[in-house]
Structure 1
């Protein structure tokens, strides 16, 4: 590998890492910012953290929220035949949404 190729790989890696960091920081904002509508925060987290397509998120219902068998305080969401176990902060947002309904 030439030094030019190695330099190009380093630049490409830096771009990818910067993009991932931006996604993570945006997801944290969705988890923490009370100024964003709760449903938007939940949808944003599902898109950013779990790569769920917006059409899938639009069709989700509260009836699909499920508690996991062992972890108290965590929630899951049924997506077709599979269950998606959510991170603690997103579980709290979903529980808050469920409570407010």
Structure 2
């Protein structure tokens, strides 16, 4: 990947991070987007960073869904074991 102004500029990196997270106010966002419009390499880098962030969010959502499913299965299994245990206590 080509070097960009983001490589050595901590402040610019903070702006990018805030931009990607939606933490810039309207005027800051407009100025940053003007900067990206005027700087192709940085715009491409920001677009790739946004896609990467979206992919990570998608994966995190899938992982959370899977974890929730595992928790639900564990609850159902525990409930079924409790029901079977209660039935065997009644029989005995």
TM category, shorter: 0.3 to 0.5
TM-score (norm 2): 0.36
TM-score (norm 1): 0.33
Relative to total residues, which structure has the larger helix share, 1 or 2? 2
Q: Which has the larger radius of gyration?
A: 2
Relative to total residues, which structure has the larger strand share, 1 or 2? 1
